[in-house]
Structure 1
């Protein structure tokens, strides 16, 4: 009997699996032709809708033969909707059954415009996602957000996109460095100023772009240099009008926050103003009504392993302007001011790993710093004629800062015996104006593929610093004797820099899809530094005693000339380039104080290569290699000690050579817009010769002297994998993200060479869900692993883990009420004693919309309701392990009022005349953005 039951169960399970497989293997295929000429129609849009509710099931585009295939369809009845510019849309019913899992429709003729559907006409269909070569386009209407939400909340709902607690964006595993609005810059190159200020309601599409270089966009020849960018396209009926918000709030513990964001958009003009002031660690990027949700808005930047920045008071103001003055002249610019004062308390426990022992260094510090920054940038694009263009991009930045820090420290030997202790006090002021300008001229010749471009980049930077250094130190010698010393000095430092770079590029076509590219680049980087140190004169009470051993003046000039040639081939499905470059470098270091001059001349030969292959519209493989030099900094070359920390004396090294980097990367992307399933994988590797590292020497009193030197044998490997797993029934997806890195560093401790390997892995899983307009939630969890291996002190090899979980929930209630909360949990293991803490962070809110159109909002927010917020981080270096705990903002409540401005004028003009209809019934919105109009017969 048992055997019979098992057999029946096995048969039932097999039947279920077979039926499931049959359902998954449903397919619809066909090919489109012109009804009159019978020619194939390529790039037509094919959408498959569920017959029962007209929601989107799948979508595709026809290939060059007019063919299309829709795979992985469960059995059921569908409506096939086909559109092509200049042709009448086609709507027909198709069924998938167990008996006929493949619906082969054969040739489908399309009639040119003039015929109207009898019962139903779909005037527009927008699939949730489209793939356009190097662009992944999301229809914003397919990803619902709460009323008055900003763009950042919309981005969090997109498959393959991650937004961390600080608002930093990763798309397909790569960091997004630039955000454009209708193709135009928005407040320069800071993505947060767009994502945290623009309302999601005005967005039509979000485009993830592998943005090519200006040269590649101009010549049409791919040079392999891309960066991840996002372009936000605005709805046509939102391009004219004013929108924004004004918010103000006050809370417990004397907390306050106020912000405003005002925008006026026209067809050819964008004008925006933002401003804010607060003492709740908000960096002025967003309205205060969104402080707690979607990342804490700076509230939790110090939680878990994210480090901490203390408690800040911040004032900001910014203006952005962009306009097409004529068809050939476009201008954009922005000004941004930021003033931040930060108070911090920091405790750290460091293990300095010596070849034969371990030193323990514990420090407690209090600090206060103020930074004020003015930044102005501009971009002018002028099309001289159809073959020539000019782009000018100036940037001006002016920064002033002041800081004060008090430290209490102690050093312990290998047996935890006291080696030294003391106090240090540092204070200083700094003024740094910088200016840079980039000019790009481009010319196309009559012969296709023949181009010339010239790029000039110039920049100046100057710095004036006044620093005060005071310390009292006690040292215990090996024989037990006690030694004390003190320092009381002032440093006057003046730095100057002038950088000039010229790059010329000429391309010549060899055949239809083969090109030669010739490049020449020249650069000259000049820097000078004057450091004057004065000891305190106790008799006069002033700093007037010159300290020649800590004073120095020098000049450094680093110039390069680089020439290269590359062959570029560009086919329909792939492109590649192979090149060879030679670079001559000249280093001239003039030590004025010591009357010593050093000159170095180096040659470098390095190839360059890139390859890109498109398997189809949805799959792409990329490879890239490039080499380059990096010169030493002014501080690394300055041949005088920096004794601002008496236990860590930093020396310069005027004999440093430039380092040379070999950079490799390979990436594979695939995304199915109909199933919303995607895989994005990237691996990069950097091999560095003559890498500049700090060689360290520890004496018997626990003092450390550090000097930069050149070494070989260092490399790092980084990889990430983003897997988007669709959940069709819930109309959402899971994002599984894997990141790893392997770093190999070379160190010198007391003249003994050591190798440090650090391996890190992060595995995360995120998911969000929205149920109509009632509620939505998102969850994110993962684990971080870090393993450190030391070739000299193997007893200090460490493995440690960090676990994290977050859950955000929001629900809409009657009468305009909303409630929500976000919960974060972090567990640290493997850290120093006292730093292994598990933290539960809870924020919550209740809000009430006011007025008929919900134009105002009153909101009560509670932050860190469990009063557990902490900042714990671990830093791993080539010869040390350090655990740090910093001050963070803890429990408080905030009551705020916000008013939202939305005044738009002029909807879409005209429209497709072939889609206009009379006697229409109310329009029904279909998920995915399809608009269906029901007509009377």
Structure 2
């Protein structure tokens, strides 16, 4: 298999040698280098393709031209007259310099010939002309993005541009389903897209961009004119072939007009395909202003958010509608509503080694689960612009969800064995709203006011049933024939946040920002555990210290001052915040309160070498405070082998955070660099003290002064060689911390390193192939020493033949090696063959997932005191035939 893949790669490489290179510089008539000038080569024969280049900071350009094709070279730069140069096909490389003359038309409109502009750069906006990259056989937006230079789309639909993740997805300038990327890239038809705009430092309030220091990266989809005021999209239906019971029904329908925009996405399938990601779920359920302090959020709906083939059965249903209406240029409303339902069965086998100070306990665990998750979410937003210097937003969101899990756990150790039947039923309801007001008084003064309010009501019921006693000595079991434990957890939370910001632009190089804000949270937390005896009596655990009733209040009043100044290309912002924190709790065994007044400095620094190269540094001293469950002072049963007890005396932890990033794009050399380094130093930290007895565990949080350091590096390097891309990725993580286990403090080191090499081709008419190799290392040193290694080989092939046939192949081979040099591997292959004629609405496709019919995959992992080897059962082979219809 791999030999054939490498043979095809080198065959494609041989095809790619039929080209020659045109290089040179673009200068102004006064001799200055023109950075980011557009150099476009238009073929003079029909069989040729448009080529493009963008000059680097020295004005240099490089064009890879096809032999046998004559070109007309057009060079353009805003404020200068375009220059043309005709190139005849030659056998060797060629050099030519361009000297542009000023247009002398500063106030008149500059007309740009869009058919020549494959890529345009204007300040913070990078625009791709889609027809310069597409071959016409692409179905969805994802396939278009994968052909744009510097743009990547991962398997979860996350889009990155030059290494930076897209955080807002727009269509015609409007947020698309809350701004998530997966719904867009997997549903917007490729033939509807005219241009892709990438907007750095995005802010939806135009006059706030100069002061907000936004780090958001937005992608805006510009539609073709013939797709406006017209319903477009597609529907698809698929059924399993032979005895296969797989099915698929999918629809993506869109209507865009100047005033009304409507999008509908629906999906039903049982092949493990999810329609949105966890990042999308956070958007759907988060709903808060970006100007307010970020709060930690959690939910139990992970199963809704990823392509889930790591199950033995999966049925999903998803419907979503997104709409916006412009009543006038000043007033518009928008909103979306989603419904998602996942029913799945999962099986997992684990061999766990529990570490104690001088011994180990081994557990073999088999777990079977049936999960049913439902989510309903509705979001409504008002956008009001009273005048050009004011902006008002109001957002309202309602959400309800349920997550029901039934399972069976078989646990075997040398000492005993237990079989648990488990039931978990979670019901969540939340209501959130926020208001933003932005006012630009003058060129020098701008004000922002934001306020939000949210309410959450979470109820969780758990049940464990077994015929053998468990957690002996940890929970107050009474002897019985069968043991049935029921637990109820309730958490009600009200949060109100408000902030007032004033921005003073003293001059072009000096800004002063002031901040005044307050965060308030009130929570009611209750837990109760009982044993239901076979004689119909109840053994209430509250007499043994179980059962919490906690009223929690947390308030953070703060004031901050930020000074932003610029020296040449060097921009800095120094900030100092003063926080007054108050935390109160009322519990069964008493009232607790503490107050802290803290100064928290921060520093941001950026140096821009040129438009394509930048380095930055950020520092913050921050504090984190315990949550309601961490300070609830009585016992809580967490799992069949874990008991947790909070600590009402907890105060806050503190940590220093340092970030360094570097990015560089050199179109002349075809090189892209991205690097991110984060160092965190925790001086006061809330960490669990752990007691382990066999497989039974007891955890209690404490505040310690033992330092913790964490160093994370993510970097990538990409080199373009004609139609080839060579990419190197590195993800490195070092964590050093102290852990108290069975009254003994141990220094732990956890290191993870992943290095990857990828080679990718990019042709319009020839096979496109991606081959990758990734090497992973994981090390743990503490009570014991262990390590794991992994080797992953991936391959992706896309081949268009006979104009209308598209063949795709995805392959992954993963090998794991543990510290005893034991290894196992698995390989997964998916393939498809599609037929669709241009301008014909019908398409036909045969899909085969898990071609090799692999039934489970293996992995290794470790935590502070558990080393685990796991086998996860996955969906069997799926063979499906589908028909799609394009509107």
Shared fold, TM over 0.5: yes
Contact 2:406–2:422 (8 Å) recurs in 1:
yes
Structure 1 residue 108: Cα displacement: 3.6
1:887 aligns with 2:881: no
Residue range with higher mean Cα deviation, 46-55 or 180-189:
46-55
- Cα distance in 1 for residues equivalent to 2:112 and 2:566: 39
Q: 1:916-936 CA distances to partner (integer Å, 9 max, x unpaired)?
A: xxxxxxxxxxxxxxxxxxxxx
Is 1:197 matched with 2:206? no
**Using the alignment, how far apart are the partners of 2:820 and 2:873 within structure 1?**
18
For residues 148 and 99 of structure 1, what CA distance do their matches in structure 2 show? 34
User: Equivalent residue for 1:277?
Assistant: 268
Conserved 8 A contact 1:58-1:70: no
C-alpha distance in 2 between matches for 1:476 and 1:338:
37
> In the alignment, which residue of structure 2 is the partner of 1:839?
826
2:12 aligned partner: none
**1:359 Cα deviation (Å)?**
2.3
* RMSD (CA atoms): 3.7
**RCO (CA 8 Å, sep 6+): is it higher in 1 or 2?**
1
Matches within 5 A, 1:449-460: 449-460=444-455
Report the Cα offset of residue 273 of structure 1: 0.7
**Alignment of structure 1 residues 819-830 onto 2, 5 Å:** 819-830=807-818
Aligned to 1:151: 141
Matched, 1:562 2:523: no
Deviation of residue 569 (structure 1)?
1.8
Maintained 8 Å contact 2:527/2:549: yes
Q: In the alignment, which residue of structure 1 is the partner of 2:604?
A: 610
Query: Does 2:586 align with 1:577?
Result: no
- Say which SS state the counterpart of residue 437 (structure 1) adopts: strand
CA apart distance, 1:105: 5.7
Is residue 135–residue 764 contact of structure 2 (8 Å, CA) maintained in 1?
Answer: no
Give the CA deviation at 1:552. 2.3
Whether 1:765 aligns to 2:753 is no
After TM superposition, the score normalised by the length of structure 1 is 0.80
Task: Give the deviation of 1:563 after TM superposition.
Answer: 1.2
The aligned residue for residue 776 of structure 1 is: 768
- Measure the CA separation in 1 of the matches of 2:157 and 2:639: 34
Structure 1 or 2, whichever has the larger Rg, is 1
Q: Deviations over 1:454-486 (max 9, x none)?
A: 1112111011233222234468999xxxx9876
Distance in 2, Cα, partners of 1:29 & 1:647 = 70
From 224, 247, 250, the equivalent of 2:236 is 247
Distance 1:398 1:570, change over 3 A: farther
How far 1:173 moved relative to its partner?
3.6
Q: C-alpha displacement at 1:407, in angstroms?
A: 0.8
State the partner residue of 1:682.
Answer: 676
**Aligned equivalent of 1:931:** none
Specify whether residues 782 and 185 from structure 1 end up closer, same or farther in structure 2 by C-alpha distance, changes over 3 A only.
same
- The answer for the alignment partner of 1:806 in structure 2 is 794
Q: Is the 8 A contact 1:745 1:756 kept in 2?
A: yes
Q: 1:442–1:605: structure 2 CA closer, same or farther, 3 Å change rule?
A: same
CA distance in 1, matches of 2:803, 2:38: 42
Question: How much does 1:586 deviate?
Answer: 0.8
Q: 1:623 to 1:214 in 2, by over 3 A?
A: farther
Q: Please say if residues 274 and 307 of structure 2, whose CA atoms lie closer than 8 Å, have aligned partners that are also in contact.
A: no
Structure 1, residues 730-780: CA drift from partner, whole Å, max 9, x if none?
A: 2x4223222211122331100111222222222223343354345433333
- Residue 272 of structure 2 aligns to a residue in which SS? coil
| 2-structure distance, mates of 1:460, 1:344 | 33
In structure 2, distance between residues paired with 1:220 and 1:597: 46
CA deviation after TM superposition for structure 1 residue 133, in Å:
4.0
- Secondary structure of the corresponding residue to residue 632 of structure 1: coil
Offset, 1:506: 1.1
Show structure 2 runs of 5+ residues with no match.
1-19, 278-302
Shift of 1:522: 0.7
User: Compared with structure 1, are the counterparts of its residues 646 and 868 closer, same or farther at alpha carbon in structure 2 (3 Å cutoff)?
Assistant: closer
Q: In 2 relative to 1, CA 703–127 (structure 1 residues): closer, same or farther, beyond 3 Å?
A: same
Cα displacement string for residues 625-647 of structure 1 (whole angstroms, at most 9, x for unaligned residues): 23433332333233232335342
1:234 aligns with 2:223: yes
Q: How far 1:679 moved relative to its partner?
A: 1.0
Query: Which residue matches 1:433?
Result: 429
Distance in 2 (CA, whole Å) between partners of 1:87 and 1:26 is 21
- The answer for the alignment partner of 1:505 in structure 2 is 501
Q: Is the alpha carbon distance of 1:213 and 1:855 closer, same or farther for their aligned partners in structure 2, counting shifts above 3 Å?
A: closer
Task: Tell me the alpha carbon deviations over residues 562-586 of structure 1, each in whole angstroms, 9 at most, x when there is no partner.
Answer: 1111111246734211111111111
- 2:641 is aligned to 647
TM-superposition CA deviations, 1:673-704 (whole Å, max 9, x none): 455421111112223343332211123x5422
Equivalent residue, structure 1, for 2:461: 466
In 2: Cα distance, 1:769 partner to 1:94 partner: 26
The answer for the alignment partner of 2:718 in structure 1 is 724
Find out whether 1:401 has 2:398 as its counterpart.
Answer: no
Q: Which residue of 2 aligns with 1:930?
A: none
Q: Say if 1:175 and 1:642 are closer, same or farther in 2 by CA, change over 3 A.
A: farther
User: Is the CA contact (8 Å cut-off) linking 1:44 and 1:83 kept in structure 2?
Assistant: no
Contact 1:685 1:715 in 2 (8 A): yes
Q: Does 1:179 align with 2:169?
A: yes
**In the TM superposition, what is the alpha-carbon distance from 1:382 to its structure 2 partner?**
1.2
8 Å CA contact 2:350–2:364 kept in 1: the answer is: yes
Q: Do the aligned residues in 2 keep the contact of 1:766 with 1:778 (CA within 8 Å)?
A: yes
Specify whether residues 203 and 660 from structure 1 end up closer, same or farther in structure 2 by C-alpha distance, changes over 3 A only.
farther
Q: Give the Cα separation in 2 of the matches to 1:772 and 1:41.
A: 33
Q: Which residue of 2 aligns with 1:165?
A: 155
Superposition map of 1:852-863 within 5 A: 853-863=839-849
Unaligned regions of 5+ residues in structure 1, if any? 1-22, 34-38, 114-120, 287-296, 412-417, 902-937
Q: 1:685 aligns to what SS in structure 2?
A: strand
Alignment of 1:27-426 (within 5 A): 27-32=24-29, 45-47=37-39, 49=41, 59-60=53-54, 68-70=59-61, 79-83=72-76, 89-93=82-86, 108=101, 110=103, 123-144=113-134, 147-212=137-202, 218-222=207-211, 224-251=213-240, 252-284=243-275, 308-411=310-413, 418-426=414-422
Instruction: Name the SS for the 1:510 alignment partner.
Output: strand
Q: 1:206–1:233: 8 Å Cα contact kept in structure 2? A: yes
**Cross-structure match for 2:740:** 748
Query: 1:365 and 1:453, CA in 2 relative to 1: closer, same or farther beyond 3 A?
Result: same
Structure 1 position 371, deviation (Å): 1.0
Give the superposition deviation at 1:603: 2.2
Question: More displaced, 806-815 or 327-336?
Answer: 806-815
Q: 1:519 deviation in Å?
A: 0.8
